[in-house]
Chain A
Amino acid sequence: MSQLILCHCWDVTTSEIEQVIADGAPDIEWIKRHTGISTGSCQGRWCLQQTLAWLRKHYPEYAWEQLPTARPPLYPVRVWQLAGAPLEDEQP
């Protein structure tokens, strides 16, 4: 039987999250840092709803009540591109 992969970017399965919780993860922040869930190129857009739905069902004390802050950039971009951005004092 194929596994339920919640996170496509880092291939995080439900059994992996169960393992991290069994190892004593105190909260979802720990799960996130340990498995990399919601830190891939989708930045949680794809995986977070399903992960939280799954957590709410099996480990309700771990599910977030409020989504974390989103950080730039929203989409993959080369640092080389960002490095050329004009500065504040160059504004028209």
Chain B
Amino acid sequence: MEEIPFRYNGRRLKGLQGDTIAIALLRNGIRVFDRSVKRRMKRGVSCLEGYCMSCLLEVNGQPDVITCRTPLRLGMDIRSQVAIPSPKVDIRAPIQVAAFKIAGPELYYRLFTKPAWASELWMRFLARMAGRGRLAAPHAQPDPLPFQTCRVDVLVVGGGLAGIASADEANHRGANVMIIDRNDRLGGAYTRWQALGDVPELLEPLTEPLPQLSPDVQVLNNATLLALYEDKTALALSEQSAYRIFYDVAVIATGSYPRVVSFPGSDAPLHLPVQGLLRAAVETSWVPRSAILLDVDSYGTLWKSTLESLGTTVHMEKVTVEDCLTGQVQARNGSGRKGIQLASGKRLYAEVVCWSAGWYPRTELIRMAGGKAVYQKDSDQFLPVLTEQFQVAPDTFAAGGCTGTTGFRSALEHGRQAGARAVAWLRIDANQERPGTPDEQLESPPTSQGGDS
């Protein structure tokens, strides 16, 4: 494979074609990318799924780049933002740790409160010490990306099965559809698991082929949706361009992210959900040599065999969330390897520590659009409140993983229905009274059944 030279904190390194920045650093044996702002803890890869924000680095003068979702490009200049002088040896770490020991966690606002001049000096000192380093001079910063505007009837957020199905359905019903996805190809989790061989049984393998999207559907790959605003506009960013999208109805199909399991010391790099490891394996073919797998949701054996088929030695241990939160399970980090101390006192060591704990619906966009996510005790999740018509808020529909379903078959089915409902909603004349939003729960609109394409 082709090698790609780049720089990290001044060092000349090489990654491989197809790597993300984070994976390229891992290949070079760099595990600690930076330090945290407050306690100067070691930070690096914590999810490989793009939601933990522990791997943020400055890339070509652009701050806070999510390195596990950004492809490596030739000659990139990558820098740590917080650590001084280097992430491995941070001189401020011992000072700060000592300060915390003496003054406690409220060091920032309990010390030097009087007299006023001391307080002012202290605040100025803190401002210099705090934050994610300092921005490059304005002339050294990259220019903002050019904006493109587009106007669509239905904006589908997320290119997984639910997203594809609803875009397909809405397109068949004559709507002008745009689908926006963070990856370089559509298919979401389904395509990823397929690349690993058999799709795990817990995710209900599909019997029918994936819907082929018509060329009329605009597809925006490698783009991140930043916001949905009240005036029905959306903002998205890709590597080359920024987008302002004017839409009438949104279908949110953002799927779910792996559930987080925290235990003492788990904030160190390379303690991550197993789904992230497998995503990296599919996208970049990077796999760790050895891994400790904490089996929380009892699907561990399934992930274990998948990891082993990729060439990783796996030690699996059954633990509970309780064990983790109460400190029965603890991280024991040695030099260059990750360790775990279990409730029994047993210690294990490996290159990475991962856990299998299921999924958690991504409800940020639903909540941004005005929907609600309410705690459900039986599934221990915050699930969005949606009507039978898959509506979560005015002009907003949702389907798939973000509504709490886990199966691929139900993602396709619900996606189709949400797409159909979105178009039906679009067609209702603005003067007519619209059927209820989740708050009102009125009778259902007269739409035909989904899935009749």
Contact = CB atoms under 8 A, between A and B. Distances in A.
Interface of A: 1-6, 8-11, 13, 15-16, 19, 40-43, 45-47, 49-50, 52-54, 57, 63-78, 80-86, 88, 90-92
A75 B144 CA distance: 16
Contacts of A1: 264, 327, 330
A41 B53 contact: yes
Across chains A and B, which 8 residue pairs bring their CB atoms closest together, nearest first?
A72-B227, A76-B64, A2-B265, A73-B226, A42-B53, A11-B39, A41-B53, A70-B364
Interface of B: 36-39, 41, 43, 46-47, 51-54, 56, 62-64, 66, 104-106, 141, 144-145, 147, 149-151, 224-229, 231, 233, 235, 237, 242, 244, 246, 257, 259-267, 321-322, 325, 327, 330-331, 360, 362-365, 367-368, 372-375, 380, 382
A57 B267 contact: no
A74 B226 contact: yes
B375 A78 contact: no
B41 A11 contact: yes
Contacts of B105: 13, 15-16, 19
B200 to A, nearest CB: 22
Nearest to A42: B53
A43 B41 contact: no
Nearest to B225: A74
Contact of B235 (A9, A45, A72): A72
Contact of B373 (A45, A53, A66): A66
Contact of A71 (B46, B63, B235, B368): B368
A85 B368 contact: no
A50 B260 contact: yes
Contacts of A8: 36, 43, 46, 52-54, 267
Contact of A45 (B263, B265, B364): B364
B63 A76 contact: yes
7 contacts: A2-B264, A19-B106, A71-B368, A72-B228, A73-B235, A75-B66, A92-B246
A43 B368 CA distance: 12
Contacts of B38: 10-11
A70 B259 contact: no
Nearest to B132: A41
A70 B367 contact: yes
B37 A10 contact: yes
Contact of A46 (B46, B144, B151, B225): B46
Q: Which of A8, A40, A63, A71 has the most chain B CB atoms closer than 10 A to its own CB?
A: A8
B281 to A, nearest CB: 21
Contact of B151 (A9, A16, A83, A92): A92
Given A57-B325, A74-B365, A77-B226, A85 B264 contact: no
Contacts of B266: 4-5
Nearest to B64: A76
B262 A11 contact: no
A2 to B, nearest CB: 4
A42 B246 CA distance: 26
Given A45-B364, A86-B147, 19 more contacts: A8-B52, A9-B36, A11-B36, A46-B47, A53-B321, A54-B262, A65-B375, A66-B372, A66-B374, A74-B224, A74-B225, A74-B227, A74-B364, A77-B226, A83-B144, A84-B147, A85-B147, A85-B242, A91-B151
Contact of B364 (A6, A11, A43, A54): A43
B64 A41 contact: yes
B224 to A, nearest CB: 6
A77 B235 CA distance: 11
Contacts of B224: 74-75
Q: Which of B105, B237, B367 has the most chain A CB atoms closer than 10 A to its own CB?
A: B105
A81 B374 contact: no
A92 B247 CA distance: 11
A74 to B, nearest CB: 5
B253 to A, nearest CB: 15
Contacts of A49: 259-260, 360
A92 B331 CA distance: 54
B261 A50 contact: yes
A10 to B, nearest CB: 6
A65 B238 CA distance: 35
B450 to A, nearest CB: 28
A46 B53 contact: yes
Contacts of B263: 4
B244 A86 contact: yes
Nearest to B373: A67
A68 B367 contact: yes
Contacts of A86: 147, 149, 244
Contacts of B43: 8
A24 to B, nearest CB: 14
A71 B228 CA distance: 9
A5 B37 CA distance: 13
B242 A81 contact: yes
A50 B327 contact: no
